[in-house]
Amino acid sequence: MDIGVDSFAAILPDPATGRTPSPTDRMADLLDEVETADRVGLDVFGIGEHHRAEFLDSASAVILAAAAARTERIRLTSAVTVLSAADPVRVFREFATVDLIPKGRTELVVGWGSFGEAFPLFSLDPRA
């Protein structure tokens, strides 16, 4: 059995203080979370892909590359890459390149996505 964490890199107000972190602070915190997960022995950390204002994970491969450079053993995965709104060859090449940084610890999970907001951004019609 593997134990891990998935994150959507949400940038939401802190429930205790009501303060919303800056995007740079939230990204720094997210990368710290991945490092901590690696240090305490979790097996996997996943970063989702969303194209909404409250999430910072629209380029999950970039975040995973930064995490790869800061970790030693944890597997890093997309959780989920929205293949239906992307060029599959480009996705493969990006993740194959990211996978070179942690020497084979990157995994790609693809799917349709849970929100429809990405389709108009990429001039796609999900009904087609």
In the chain, which residues have pLDDT < 50? none
Question: Tokens 């194209």 identify what position?
Answer: 51
Distance separating the N- and C-terminal Cα atoms of the chain: 39
Q: What is the pTM of this model?
A: 0.87
CA 110 to chain centre: 12
Backbone angles phi and psi of 110, in degrees to 5: -115, 155
d(CA 59, CA 91): 11
Return the pLDDT at 46.
Answer: 97
Return the pLDDT at 85.
Answer: 76
73 and 45 Cβ atoms separated by less than 8 Å: no
Return the pLDDT at 117.
Answer: 66
82 and 118 Cβ atoms separated by less than 8 Å: yes
